[in-house]
Amino acid sequence: MIRKYSFGTPLPTDAVVLSLPTEKSPLPFFNLSRSGDQLILTRKLHPEDRIFGLGESVRGINKRGFLYRSWNTDIPHHQETTESLYASHNFLLFFGPESLFGLYLDDPGRITWDLGFTRMDTAVITSENGDLDLYLIEEDSLTEIARSFRRLTGRSYLPPRWAFGYIQSRWGYASEESVRAVAAEHRKRGIPLDGICLDIDYMENYKNFSWRKDAFPDLNRFSEDMRRDHLRLIPIIDAGICAEEGYTPYDSGKAGGFFCRKADGSDFRAAVWPGSCCFPDFQREEVRRWFGDLYQPLLEAGVEGFWNDMNEPALFFTDSGVEEAFRKAEEVKSGSADYEEMWMLGDAFSHMSNNPEDYRSFYQQVNGRQVCHEKVHNLYGASMTRASAEGFRRFDPEKRFLLFSRSSFIGAHRNGGVWQGDNFSWWSHLKLALQMLPNLNLCGFLYSGCDLGGFGQNVTEDLLERFLQLGVFTPLMRNHSALGTREQEIFRFSSWEIMRDTVRVRYALLPFLYSEFMKAALSDGMYFRPLAFDYSEDPRAAAVEDQLLLGESCMIAPVMEQNSAGRYVYLPEDMLLVRFRSPEDYDCLPLEKGDHWIPFSLREFPLFVRKNHPLLLCRDEECSESLDDHSFTALCWMNRDVSSDLYRDDGFDSDPVLSEHLTRFSLNLSGDCPGSVPGVAKFPIVL
């Protein structure tokens, strides 16, 4: 049951697709109060209450015990105490002895989620706008609440199948040759690969939809050559449009009046990579149409995937920000500043970027009305994603395109995936990535993944290998790193063969993982879930913070500590451990429900499969297109006949019907189990 409550005059967000009547009865579960414009919700927490949700945010799977802020921020140096990341996903699940409900705030402005931070026993949620629609969802289980929420907000984005292949990326591939060399090195060494991202280096002076003719002379031919080798180019597009006369996107945007404006009616400008930029007012339909059509020449050149960046929007600085910083510096220089201002001199400069003052200084058009950007800030990336996706649909409505964005808001989950932003080559960020995934899924973002190996700082070989072992299971499996850091492609490292075999396991599992993903997406389910979702009666399972359920029958438990020789795993029921070293080298171990310490050398990683549920492995290939998804090795710990469904499609169909793509298959106990481990069947099947 979904109930809607309205407060004031809510701004449209495009998050909700279901129209519901507004409740007149008082809001249950929360104490409601006002302070100025703010709307404040308060709820006493039971000591055993858990809170899931908030999608992209720091800390654990259970969000309880910290304060988070919905305020999309470019924050490459995030850590445990960071309150806001690149996205705002305002959905929470309360789960405890006295609570089982979901709460969604459809509010594009700043929201503070004090989930037991100020007082351990109290949740206080504050909306700054104060005008919003609030939805309460009550169902019998966490899974059903999540499903209802997806019905409310719409089906998750479906990427093309090739987007489940391994993707190599780096900020700094400065020419066609360097990209070709990276591709060739993967092919030469048998490291499977489906795509290479082009970062801002491919553009001419970082201008969107342009490319450097000196270094990337013929994108058409380049893209064709790559396609012949079963590789796709995935260019980046930034939010800001370079404010330079003679540059077509600027001229057409200017002529159309498509950019965000200041109070005096002039275009708002801020510096980003290309220098002074204007920012499309993505809230307007005609602006989205114009921007979406700008992708057309690249689509015509054969590009089938993009990543949208800097769309919080990130602002390096504005003229007024620079003036203000210089004014402070002058005061300090002339001796007129007091002690505190002198001490803050560094801040005066570093706070020039993503400055709240700047976000307050421009306006967006919402339903024909000028609204201060601050009030709709968190929609910017989502609306850019919408513009792109709508453009792709106009270009080819039959086909799925790859699209993942840095910034997002609920609603964008219908149009694209997300990557988890700029992380560091830190062990703690490996764990952070894992913990974010189920909450992203809860908020509808099924196609996601982190920068494997870490974006900032220098990775170590073992950290990259452990990142890849998580990446084997994340829908987006992309190795990405920042300019100036240690080169991070697999082939750069002495242990590249170990890493290659890890990626090969991904390809052997790809048809199975794709099937699990599509089944989840097409039934409004979750690909990754906290253990609490399936084992809500088991308090041990509900508390697990370092393992995730995957699809209908699997569980992952990656090693996330340096130099560890293994790890503890809690099995909420009997499960088969498949410990992988490569597609042909793995061992199968039936394990009983309970705690286990399991050794994992650096090259080993587990997948756990529920008893009487089959796992399908195919022969790995160098790219997803070459995979044979008819012949499999079936692995199953079984003590009865089992049957299951495999989802398959052409990988592009933009509107597949689940039931039309399922192949039912059975494994019979009577036909004896040919595996070498008693009770574990292992045999070839053809579907």
Judged by beta carbon, residue 171 or residue 395, the one nearer ligand MIG is 171
Among 87, 183, 200, 376, binds ligand MIG (CB under 6 A): 200
Structure tokens of 681?
Answer: 């069947």
Residue type, 663: T
Whether the Cβ atoms of residue 632 and residue 684 lie closer than 8 Å to each other: yes
Give me the least distance between CB of 150 and ligand MIG, in Å please. Answer: 27
Sign of CA dihedral 310, 346, 59, 49: negative
Give me the least distance between CB of 406 and ligand MIG, in Å please. Answer: 5
Among 114, 133, 194, 199, binds ligand MIG (CB under 6 A): 199
Q: What is Dmax (Cα atoms) for the chain?
A: 90
Please state whether beta strands 122-127 and 38-44 pair in parallel, antiparallel, or not at all (unpaired).
antiparallel
For residue 309, state whether it binds ligand MIG (rule: CB under 6 A). yes
Give me the least distance between CB of 321 and ligand MIG, in Å please. Answer: 17
Judged by beta carbon, residue 310 or residue 498, the one nearer ligand MIG is 310
For residue 174, state whether it binds ligand MIG (rule: CB under 6 A). no
List the interface residues with ligand MIG, window 223-262 (CB under 6 A): 236
Judged by beta carbon, residue 204 or residue 462, the one nearer ligand MIG is 204
Please state whether beta strands 166-168 and 132-137 pair in parallel, antiparallel, or not at all (unpaired).
unpaired
Judged by beta carbon, residue 89 or residue 480, the one nearer ligand MIG is 480
Among 117, 171, 349, 491, binds ligand MIG (CB under 6 A): 171
Among 150, 261, 400, 406, binds ligand MIG (CB under 6 A): 406
Q: Residue 418's beta-bridge partner residues? A: 405, 448
Judged by beta carbon, residue 199 or residue 304, the one nearer ligand MIG is 199
Structure tokens of 183?
Answer: 């591709």
Give me the least distance between CB of 328 and ligand MIG, in Å please. Answer: 25
Please state whether beta strands 66-70 and 111-115 pair in parallel, antiparallel, or not at all (unpaired).
antiparallel
Number of H helices, E strands in the chain: 16, 39
List the interface residues with ligand MIG, window 432-461 (CB under 6 A): 455
Whether the Cβ atoms of residue 13 and residue 108 lie closer than 8 Å to each other: yes
Question: Smallest Cα–Cα separation from 567: which of 686, 431, 472?
Answer: 431
Give me the least distance between CB of 477 and ligand MIG, in Å please. Answer: 15
Task: State the Cα–Cα distance between residues 499 and 602, nearest whole angstrom.
Answer: 10
Give me the least distance between CB of 437 and ligand MIG, in Å please. Answer: 18
Among 422, 501, 620, 621, binds ligand MIG (CB under 6 A): 422
User: How many CB atoms are located within 10 Å of the residue 619 CB?
Assistant: 15
List the interface residues with ligand MIG, window 547-576 (CB under 6 A): none
Judged by beta carbon, residue 199 or residue 622, the one nearer ligand MIG is 199
Structure tokens of 558?
Answer: 């990656």
What residue is closest to ligand MIG based on CB?
A: 171
Give me the least distance between CB of 294 and ligand MIG, in Å please. Answer: 18
Judged by beta carbon, residue 421 or residue 530, the one nearer ligand MIG is 421
Task: State the Cα–Cα distance between residues 94 and 312, nearest whole angstrom.
Answer: 28
Give me the least distance between CB of 91 and ligand MIG, in Å please. Answer: 24
For residue 478, state whether it binds ligand MIG (rule: CB under 6 A). no
Whether the Cβ atoms of residue 72 and residue 380 lie closer than 8 Å to each other: yes
Q: Taking the C-alpha atoms of 82, 86, 90 and 95 in order, what is their torsion angle to the nearest 10 degrees?
A: -50
Task: State the Cα–Cα distance between residues 237 and 250, nearest whole angstrom.
Answer: 15
Give me the least distance between CB of 197 and ligand MIG, in Å please. Answer: 8
Whether the Cβ atoms of residue 425 and residue 454 lie closer than 8 Å to each other: yes
Task: State the Cα–Cα distance between residues 525 and 81, nearest whole angstrom.
Answer: 31
Give me the least distance between CB of 90 and ligand MIG, in Å please. Answer: 22
Count of residues binding ligand MIG (CB under 6 A)?
Answer: 10
Query: Residue numbers of the site for ligand MIG (CB under 6 A)?
Result: 171, 199-200, 236, 309-310, 406, 422, 455, 480
